[in-house]
Amino acid sequence: MSASQTSDPAPQTSTPASPRRLLEKLSPVSGARLGEFPVADEAEVRAAVARARAAFPGWRDTPLAARAEVMARVKQVLAEQGEHYARKISEDTGKPTFEATMMEIGAVPLLLDYMLRRAPVLLRRQKVPTPLVLPGKSAFIEHFPRGVIGIISPWNFPFQLAVVPVLSALIGGNTVVLKQSEITPIVAGVVEDLFRRIGLPAGVVEIVHGDGSTGAALTRAEVDMLFFTGSVATGRKVMAAAAQRPIPVELELGGKDAMIVCADANLERAAEAAVWGGLVNCGQACVSVERIFVVDAIHDRFVEKVREKVARVTVGGPDEQADMGPLTSGAQLGIVERHVNSAIAAGAKVVFGGEKLQRPGQFFAPTLLTGVTPEMEIFREETFGPVLPVIRVRDEDEAVRLANASEFGLAGSVWTQDIDKGLRLASRMECGQVSVNDVIQSVGHPALPFGGVRSSGIGRYHGDAGILGFMHTRGIMVDRGFLNSEPLWFPYAGKVSHGFELLKGITTRSLGSLVKGFLGLRKKMTRPK
> Torsions phi, psi of 169, nearest 5?
-75, -40
The helix/strand/coil state of 237 is helix
**Catalytically active residues, by annotation:** 252, 286
Between CA 116 and CA 120, with CA 119 as vertex, the angle to 5 degrees is 105
Residue 315 is given by DSSP the state B
The Cα–Cα gap between 259 and 437 comes to 10
For residue 283, give every residue at least 6 positions away whose Cβ sits within 8 Å of its Cβ, in sequence order, or none: 290, 336, 383, 384, 385, 386, 387
The Cα–Cα gap between 451 and 443 comes to 9
| C-beta of residue 123 within 8 angstroms of C-beta of residue 461 | no
Neighbour-count burial for 213-252, b at 16+ CB within 10 Å, e otherwise: ebbbbbbebebbbbbbbbebebbebbbebbeeeebbbbbb
| C-beta of residue 414 within 8 angstroms of C-beta of residue 274 | no
| C-beta of residue 388 within 8 angstroms of C-beta of residue 365 | no
Residue 431 is given by DSSP the state S
The Cα–Cα gap between 361 and 444 comes to 30
User: How would you classify the pairing of strands 205-208 and 225-229?
Assistant: unpaired
Q: How many residues does the chain have?
A: 529
Nearest to 10 by CA among 157, 178, 190: 190
CA dihedral 238→239→241→247, nearest 10 degrees, is 120
For residue 8, give every residue at least 6 positions away whose Cβ sits within 8 Å of its Cβ, in sequence order, or none: 189, 190, 192, 193
- Provide the terminal-to-terminal Cα distance of the chain, rounded to the nearest Å: 69
The Cα–Cα gap between 413 and 407 comes to 17
The Cα–Cα gap between 435 and 450 comes to 13
User: How would you classify the pairing of strands 137-145 and 126-128?
Assistant: antiparallel
Between CA 8 and CA 18, with CA 14 as vertex, the angle to 5 degrees is 90
DSSP output for 333-358? HHHHHHHHHHHHHTT-EEEE--SB-S
